[in-house]
């Protein structure tokens, strides 16, 4: 027996010593269609990436709810744009959506673009993976690209001061906590006295021999089950409980005379245009080579506008592929989620011209983030084509495409 | 209702005298240690049952200050928290004629939830305790037990006790909640302190829209949402009381009785 116990303990210690701490969010667990067909994030930045406790960290970027939203999900109506971090290691202090302050949820539509800016204060020391996310009612939280942020201790405990409407400043880290505890404890102590009264001087288990022989509504004062003395003490404890409630209520009403019900702020942010809509695209299929992590997308584009346009980026879920140099790639978002885009043929598309274009992207992120549907009921991908003219005017065009893997890998499990 | 000794038949009086002796009898093997073992070991089972029931039915309403709203909180928590106290009230009253079932359950629950909140949510998850404090149902339980002791009737206890339970649970916990309902300007809006806690302390997988703030049309009752909810909460607590009675009578006591008869 001792040997077995020692073995079990040894195995448990061995396993736990190898367990590493989870610092990210399991974003790869979401199915590809949940990422590709729902939303696309772009221009996401988390700055700075090295701070001390109490310092601000800002997340900026945009998310578009794609017109290709899967019919298998509830249509997007209510959403909440939030930092996605491991617990409250940061404290959110400001959130702007399309330029409007947004403490709560927002109403959204398919095709809507939501520019966000969220300011957080670093709260817990550590190395944290910080994402933006958009939680959509009926669907869940859809993650954007993440950036690692290191929070160093500052030597001072974290404080989150807010100024009440009456002008008093309070630290949310501790405000009201002591009163909650002592108030709850006072109620508990009365309950404890109640329990001790019945269980310490009186016997418990052996009373069953008596109660079994009596009707259930007979408290038998003559036998001694519940005596007039018991009634007196219980009346006293019940009275103290009610008195405590009355005193507490009077104290509360005097100390906090102004109280509001919880507030909820919801609005539809001002719309942001995806462009003039004069660029038309038509998908012509796509392929994915699992061996080389290469995605190839074919489509036809027609420029119905008055000025030439060039394709600058392809944005899929939380990734951005850039037809440009290192500087342009750095500006596109967190480096783990940005890749090189090869456009063939490259160059501006003249007004009125049509062109067949092939996009080629080779990157480990496709499989790491599980972006490609390889064993799903629907082999579809979607993303945003980001066109730009000479004046810098942008057009975001959604492209949905059937995906055909070049070959399927053998598999042992369904 | 028991007859008074003066109006009892002599045989009944004799029987009750024997029961009195039985109550005070000294047992060689069943001493006070067994009582202590029972009460202490039951803490874990009772606290677990009460906590699971509360988590199942009340969930987030008992976790965050910004969920303790005027409309749903009084309804949901009143129903969720009375079930197991009612079951224990039946068991402890029938078995030992102790008016302690609700108080015992709620004191056990108090210990379990505070330990859980402190170690899991404050130490491990680092949420401030003033954001994740649990409600206390102990005062409501005292009144529920007192009512049973005074009336000796589960029907009367359910009718009055259910309503009193809803009022007591809400009013006792509204007092420490009050500081968190003070208005504060935040993000260019007027919010309560509890709302600010809910926004600032990030819950990535608990988006704001999951809260049930301003759902339904209770404001059409002259804006007195709180009192309509409390009334409904009282009704729900009466139902919850009988759910607990069913658990106590049919899932706890009845199988034990069946087992004893087979011996």
Q: Which of B22, B194, B207 shows the shortest C-beta gap to A105?
A: B207
Confidence of residue B4 (pLDDT cuts 50, 70, 90): low
Q: Please, is A92 exposed, middle or buried when counting C-beta atoms within 10 Å of its C-beta (0-12, 13-18, 19+)?
A: buried
Number of domains forming the structure of chain B: 1
Nearest to A54 by CA among A122, A120, A119: A122
- Look at residue B119 and tell me if it is in a domain: yes
The answer to whether residue A227 neighbours chain B at the CB level (below 8 Å) is no
Is the confidence at residue B125, as pLDDT, over 60? yes
- With contacts defined as CB-CB under 8 Å, which chain A residues touch B127? 87-88
Q: Which of B16, B168, B184 shows the shortest C-beta gap to A162?
A: B184
Is the confidence at residue B253, as pLDDT, over 80? no
Contact A207 B145 (CB under 8 A): no
Percent of chain B with pLDDT over 70: 93
Report, as an integer, the average pLDDT of B118-137: 96
Q: Which of A165-179, B90-104, B194-208, B242-256 has the lowest mean pLDDT?
A: B242-256
The answer to whether residue B62 neighbours chain A at the CB level (below 8 Å) is no
- With contacts defined as CB-CB under 8 Å, which chain A residues touch B133? 177, 180-181, 184
Name the residue in chain B with its Cα closest to that of A159.
B128
Contact B32 A203 (CB under 8 A): yes
Token pair, residue B83, equals 């079930």
Token pair, residue A363, equals 């990157």
- Look at residue B195 and tell me if it is in a domain: yes
Contact B20 A211 (CB under 8 A): no
Cis peptide bond prior to B204, omega within 30° of 0: no
The nearest CA of chain A is from the CA of B197 a distance in Å of: 7
Across the A:B interface, residue pairs with CB atoms under 8 Å apart total 307
Contact A166 B106 (CB under 8 A): no
Contact A88 B30 (CB under 8 A): no
Candidates A187, A212, A225, A239, partner chain B, best to mutate (most B CBs within 10 A): A187
**Is residue B24 classed as helix, strand or coil in its secondary structure?**
coil
Q: Are A79 and A98 in contact (CB under 8 A)?
A: no
pLDDT of residue B224: 77
Q: What is chain A's pLDDT, residue by residue, as a tens digit (414 residues)?
A: 678 888 888 888 777 666 555 555 667 788 899 999 999 999 999 999 999 999 999 999 999 999 999 999 999 999 999 999 999 999 999 999 999 999 999 999 999 999 999 999 999 999 999 999 999 999 999 999 999 999 999 999 999 999 999 999 999 999 999 999 999 999 999 999 999 999 999 999 888 889 989 999 999 999 999 999 999 999 999 999 999 999 999 999 999 999 999 999 999 999 999 988 889 999 999 999 999 999 999 999 999 999 999 999 999 999 999 999 999 999 999 999 999 999 999 999 999 999 999 999 999 999 989 999 988 888 999 999 999 998 999 999 999 999 999 887 777 776
pLDDT of residue A82: 97
**Is residue B163 classed as helix, strand or coil in its secondary structure?**
helix
Cα dist. A164→A103, A169, A256, B182 in Å?
Answer: 16, 6, 12, 7
Confidence of residue B250 (pLDDT cuts 50, 70, 90): confident
Tell me how far apart the alpha carbons of residues A226 and A208 are, in angstroms, rounded to a whole number: 14
> Residue B153 sits in a domain of what CATH number?
1.20.1450.10
Tell me how far apart the alpha carbons of residues B252 and B249 are, in angstroms, rounded to a whole number: 6
Q: Which of A102, A105, A226 shows the shortest C-beta gap to B97?
A: A226
Tell me how far apart the alpha carbons of residues A373 and A140 are, in angstroms, rounded to a whole number: 19
ipTM: 0.93
- Look at residue B5 and tell me if it is in a domain: no
pLDDT of residue A407: 80
- Look at residue B179 and tell me if it is in a domain: yes
pLDDT of residue A333: 95
Q: Which of B15, B19, B130 shows the shortest C-beta gap to A180?
A: B130
The answer to whether residue B18 neighbours chain A at the CB level (below 8 Å) is no
- With contacts defined as CB-CB under 8 Å, which chain A residues touch B106? 191
Give start-end residues of each CATH 2.60.40.1580 domain in chain A: 279-405
The answer to whether residue A85 neighbours chain B at the CB level (below 8 Å) is yes
The nearest CA of chain B is from the CA of A169 a distance in Å of: 10
Domain hosting residue B77, numbered range: 31-262
Tell me how far apart the alpha carbons of residues A242 and A113 are, in angstroms, rounded to a whole number: 55
Residue A205: how many other CB atoms lie within 10 Å: 17
Which residue is it, tokens 């061995």? A14
The answer to whether residue B9 neighbours chain A at the CB level (below 8 Å) is no
Reply yes or no on domain A279-405 having CATH 2.60.40.1580: yes
Give the side-chain half-sphere CA count within 13 A for B184. 25
- With contacts defined as CB-CB under 8 Å, which chain B residues touch A175? 130, 179, 193
- With contacts defined as CB-CB under 8 Å, which chain A residues touch B23? 206-207, 210, 223-225
* CB under 8 A, 24+ apart: contacts of A266-270: A266/A78, A266/A104, A266/A105, A266/A106, A266/A107, A266/B209, A267/A100, A267/A102, A267/A106, A267/A107, A268/A106, A268/A107, A268/A108, A268/A109, A269/A97, A269/A98, A269/A100, A269/A102, A269/A106, A269/A112, A269/A114, A270/A98, A270/A99, A270/A100
Name the residue in chain A with its Cα closest to that of B204.
A84
Q: Chain A, 91-150: which have a CB under 8 Å from a chain B CB?
A: 91-95, 101-105, 120, 123-124, 133, 135, 137, 140-141
Contact A120 B181 (CB under 8 A): no
The nearest CA of chain B is from the CA of A337 a distance in Å of: 21
Contact B178 A259 (CB under 8 A): yes
pLDDT of residue A8: 85
pLDDT of residue B3: 55
Sheet holding A56-65, edge to edge: A39-47, A56-65, A113-122, A90-97, A100-101
pLDDT of residue A60: 98
Reply yes or no on domain A27-161 having CATH 1.25.10.10: no
The answer to whether residue B81 neighbours chain A at the CB level (below 8 Å) is no
The answer to whether residue A203 neighbours chain B at the CB level (below 8 Å) is yes
Q: Are A264 and B214 in contact (CB under 8 A)?
A: yes
Tell me how far apart the alpha carbons of residues B20 and B243 are, in angstroms, rounded to a whole number: 34
Which residue is it, tokens 């002796």? B21
- Look at residue B100 and tell me if it is in a domain: yes
pLDDT of residue B149: 97
Q: Which of A164, A204, A264 shows the shortest C-beta gap to B214?
A: A264
Nearest to A396 by CA among A62, A60, A80: A62
Per-residue pLDDT of B166-178, as tens digits, reads 999 999 999 999 9
- With contacts defined as CB-CB under 8 Å, which chain B residues touch A224? 20, 23-24
Contact A179 B184 (CB under 8 A): no
Tell me how far apart the alpha carbons of residues A371 and B88 are, in angstroms, rounded to a whole number: 53
Tell me how far apart the alpha carbons of residues A102 and B199 are, in angstroms, rounded to a whole number: 10
């Amino acid at each position: 027996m001792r040997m077995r116990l020692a073995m079990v303990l040894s195995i448990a210690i061995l396993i736990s010593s190898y367990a590493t701490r989870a610092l990210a969010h399991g974003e790869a667990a979401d199915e590809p269609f949940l990422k590709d067909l729902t939303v696309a994030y772009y221009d996401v930045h988390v700055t700075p990436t090295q701070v001390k406790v109490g310092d601000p960290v800002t997340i900026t970027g945009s998310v578009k709810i794609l017109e290709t939203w899967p019919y298998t999900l509830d249509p997007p109506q209510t959403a909440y744009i939030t930092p996605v971090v491991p617990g409250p290691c940061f404290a959110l202090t400001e959130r702007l959506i399309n330029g409007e302050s947004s403490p709560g949820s927002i109403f959204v539509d398919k095709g809507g673009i939501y520019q966000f800016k969220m300011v957080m204060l670093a709260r817990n020391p550590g190395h944290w993976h910080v994402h933006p996310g958009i939680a959509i009612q009926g669907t869940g939280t859809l993650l954007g690209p993440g950036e690692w942020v290191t929070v160093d201790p500052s030597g001072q405990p974290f404080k989150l001061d807010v100024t009440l409407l009456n002008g008093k400043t309070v630290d949310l880290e501790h405000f009201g906590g002591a009163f909650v505890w002592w108030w709850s404890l006072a109620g508990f102590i009365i309950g404890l006295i109640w329990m001790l009264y019945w269980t310490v001087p009186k016997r418990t288990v052996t009373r069953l021999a008596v109660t079994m022989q009596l009707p259930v509504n007979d408290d038998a004062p003559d036998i001694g089950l519940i005596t007039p003395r018991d009634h007196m003490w219980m009346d006293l404890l019940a009275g103290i409980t009610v008195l405590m409630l009355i005193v507490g209520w009077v104290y509360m009403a005097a100390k906090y005379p102004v109280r509001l019900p919880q507030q909820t702020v919801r609005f539809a942010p001002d719309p942001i245009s995806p462009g003039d809509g004069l660029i038309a695209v038509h998908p012509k299929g796509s392929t994915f080579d699992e061996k080389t992590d290469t995605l190839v997308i074919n489509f036809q584009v027609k420029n119905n506008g008055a000025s030439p346009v060039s394709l600058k980026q392809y944005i899929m879920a939380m990734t951005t592929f850039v037809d440009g140099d290192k500087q342009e790639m750095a500006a596109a978002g967190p480096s783990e989620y940005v890749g090189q885009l090869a456009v063939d043929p490259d160059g501006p598309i003249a007004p009125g011209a049509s062109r067949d274009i092939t996009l080629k992207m080779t990157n480990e992120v496709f499989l790491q983030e599980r972006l490609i549907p390889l064993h799903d009921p629907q082999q579809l991908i979607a993303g945003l084509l980001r066109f730009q003219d000479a004046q810098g005017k942008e057009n975001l065009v959604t492209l949905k495409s059937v995906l055909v893997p070049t070959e399927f890998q053998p598999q042992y499990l369904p | 209702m028991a007859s008074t000794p003066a109006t009892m038949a002599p045989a009944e009086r004799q029987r009750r005298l024997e029961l009195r002796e039985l109550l005070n009898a000294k047992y060689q093997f069943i001493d006070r240690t067994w009582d202590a073992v029972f009460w202490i070991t039951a803490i874990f089972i009772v606290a677990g049952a009460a906590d699971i029931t509360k988590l199942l039915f009340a969930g987030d309403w008992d976790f965050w200050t910004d969920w303790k709203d005027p409309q749903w909180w009084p309804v949901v928590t009143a129903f969720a928290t009375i079930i197991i106290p009612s079951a224990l009230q039946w068991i402890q009253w029938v078995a030992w004629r102790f008016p302690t079932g609700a108080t015992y359950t709620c004191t056990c629950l108090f210990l379990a939830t505070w330990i859980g909140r402190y170690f899991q949510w404050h130490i491990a998850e680092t949420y401030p305790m003033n954001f994740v404090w649990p409600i206390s149902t102990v005062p409501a339980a005292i009144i529920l037990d007192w009512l049973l002791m005074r009336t000796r009737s589960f029907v009367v206890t359910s009718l009055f006790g259910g309503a009193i339970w809803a009022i007591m649970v809400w009013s006792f916990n509204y007092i420490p909640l009050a500081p968190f309902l003070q208005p504060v300007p935040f993000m260019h809006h007027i919010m309560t302190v509890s709302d600010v806690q809910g926004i600032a302390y990030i819950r990535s997988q608990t988006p704001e829209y999951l809260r049930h703030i301003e759902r339904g049309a209770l404001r059409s009752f002259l804006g007195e949402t709180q009192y309509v909810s409390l009334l409904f909460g009282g009704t729900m607590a009466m139902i919850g009381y009988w759910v607990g009675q069913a658990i106590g009578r049919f899932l706890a006591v009845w199988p034990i009785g069946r087992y004893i008869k087979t011996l």
